[in-house]
């Protein structure tokens, strides 16, 4: 059985007890009016979380990967041009999926640890006079490297090139944890899943389509059945679904949207920022560096920590699991063995984060890395104490 230790992987994330309970409901007939009482608040809640007035929200029994497939198969035709930067494992996988669907992907190879080069996007789009490129992909938060890219800058690049391409954003490890502005950034399809910022078990693909994306659905020729948003769109107004929805998870989603909105999105983002700053303070106290190349790229949901040359970073993750029953993230793809990741998104407090930092110290000390016990914890405590200062003042 699992212990009560929190996990420090960047998804699936820790679940609030109340969210878990909300997923546990008696069997409900999804053809009855009772289902609309689950579905409609999910749609409204997700729309608020992605900051959109009118986006169409589609929720599938699937995961984030199914959300990628929903985005491309509903809007594109075989041979269509796609522009994407590859700067980590998740952007790589979305590119791979596009190619397997017969799309013509222009890949901007980008160092793992760097953000999306919006200036390169602008050059490529400006040169694409025939508008062969139909869609621009952007991974908002590259979970493999702990890099957050500037989506507003990608939108500016598209506009500066005067290009009509749609903008699709993978927000799987950012939405609900870091600021995401679908309407303001002109995002046409936003993709996420249930098991990250929404603090739910895995099992839902959550997508948001703009009006322009919905127009593209009409002419798209890639085959799609299970993920066809038109079937969803015709069922929704009647509170219905084209097949059996994951009702329990959706009841959980209804609830978790409520929690996020009750805490206040800006407060949720500030909490993630503060917890991340504590982790980053610990990393620098350890004398270690993040994979993310500069502070403007630092992710507030996951930190990818480079280990010394010649040291196998996977040993940290394995030892943490076997000796302390704590989960950290391994390095993926090009950075496998070179870094480990501390996930710090979802249902997490300063106090929980301290336990993860303390565990990482024990693990690294056990493995002979030159980390002084308590050094990272103390650095993070200073960050978290500074935040507690208002409360202390009020109590005095």
Ligand X SMILES: *Cc1c(COP(=O)(O)O)cnc(C)c1O
Chain residues binding ligand X by CB under 6 A are: 11, 63-65, 90, 139, 141, 143, 170, 172-173, 193, 202
Distance between CA atoms of 82 and 79, rounded to whole angstroms? 9
Whose Cβ is closer to ligand X: residue 195's or residue 381's?
Answer: 195
Whose Cβ is closer to ligand X: residue 12's or residue 45's?
Answer: 12
Whose Cβ is closer to ligand X: residue 161's or residue 276's?
Answer: 276
Q: How far is the CB of 142 from ligand X (least distance, A)?
A: 6
Contact by Cβ (8 Å): 336, 314? yes
Give how far the C-alpha of residue 69 lies from the chain's centroid of Cα atoms, to the nearest Å. Answer: 16
Q: How far is the CB of 293 from ligand X (least distance, A)?
A: 18
Q: How far is the CB of 302 from ligand X (least distance, A)?
A: 8
Distance between CA atoms of 351 and 345, rounded to whole angstroms? 14
Q: How far is the CB of 205 from ligand X (least distance, A)?
A: 7
Residue least distant from ligand X (Cβ): 64
Q: How far is the CB of 198 from ligand X (least distance, A)?
A: 11
Whose Cβ is closer to ligand X: residue 193's or residue 278's?
Answer: 193
Distance between CA atoms of 220 and 56, rounded to whole angstroms? 17
Whose Cβ is closer to ligand X: residue 45's or residue 193's?
Answer: 193
Whose Cβ is closer to ligand X: residue 65's or residue 387's?
Answer: 65
Q: How far is the CB of 207 from ligand X (least distance, A)?
A: 12
Whose Cβ is closer to ligand X: residue 22's or residue 345's?
Answer: 345
Whose Cβ is closer to ligand X: residue 113's or residue 376's?
Answer: 113
Q: How far is the CB of 202 from ligand X (least distance, A)?
A: 6
Q: How far is the CB of 173 from ligand X (least distance, A)?
A: 4
Q: 10 Å Cβ neighbour count for 108? A: 16
| Alpha-carbon dihedral angle through residues 123, 129, 133, 135, given to the nearest 10 degrees | 70
């Amino acid at each position: 059985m699992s212990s009560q230790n929190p996990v420090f992987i960047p998804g699936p994330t820790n679940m609030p007890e109340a969210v878990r309970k909300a997923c546990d409901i008696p069997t409900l007939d999804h053809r009855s009016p009772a289902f609309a009482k689950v579905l409609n608040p999910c749609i409204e809640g997700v729309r608020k979380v992605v900051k959109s007035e009118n986006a169409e929200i589609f929720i599938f029994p699937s995961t984030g990967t199914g959300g990628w497939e929903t985005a491309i198969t509903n809007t594109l035709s075989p041979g269509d041009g796609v522009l994407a930067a590859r700067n980590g494992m998740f952007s790589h996988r979305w590119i791979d999926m596009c190619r397997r669907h017969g799309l013509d992907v222009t890949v901007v190879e980008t160092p793992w640890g760097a953000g999306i080069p919006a200036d390169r996007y602008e050059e490529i789009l400006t040169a694409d006079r025939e508008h062969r490129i139909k869609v621009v992909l952007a991974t908002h938060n590259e979970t493999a490297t702990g890099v957050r890219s500037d989506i507003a800058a990608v939108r500016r690049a598209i506009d500066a090139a005067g290009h009509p391409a749609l903008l699709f954003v993978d927000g799987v490890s950012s939405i609900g944890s870091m600021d995401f502005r679908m309407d303001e950034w002109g995002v046409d399809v936003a993709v996420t899943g249930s098991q990250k910022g929404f603090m739910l078990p895995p099992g839902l693909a959550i997508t948001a389509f703009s009006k322009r994306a919905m127009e593209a659905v009409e002419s798209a020729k890639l085959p799609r059945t299970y993920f066809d948003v038109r079937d969803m769109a015709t069922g929704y107004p009647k509170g219905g679904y084209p097949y059996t929805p994951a009702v329990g998870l959706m009841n959980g989603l209804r609830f978790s949207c409520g929690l996020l909105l009750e805490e206040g999105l800006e407060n949720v983002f500030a909490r993630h920022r503060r917890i991340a700053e504590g982790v980053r303070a610990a990393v620098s106290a350890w004398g270690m560096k993040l994979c993310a190349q500069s502070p403007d790229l630092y992710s507030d949901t996951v930190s990818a920590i480079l280990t010394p040359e010649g040291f196998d970073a996977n040993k940290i993750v394995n030892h943490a699991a076997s000796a302390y029953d704590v989960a950290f993230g391994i390095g993926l793809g090009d950075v496998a063995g070179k870094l480990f990741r501390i996930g710090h998104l979802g249902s997490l407090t300063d106090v929980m984060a301290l336990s993860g930092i303390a565990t990482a110290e024990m693990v690294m000390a056990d493995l002979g890395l030159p980390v002084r016990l308590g050094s990272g914890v103390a650095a993070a405590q200073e960050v978290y104490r500074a935040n507690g200062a208002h409360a202390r003042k009020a109590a005095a």
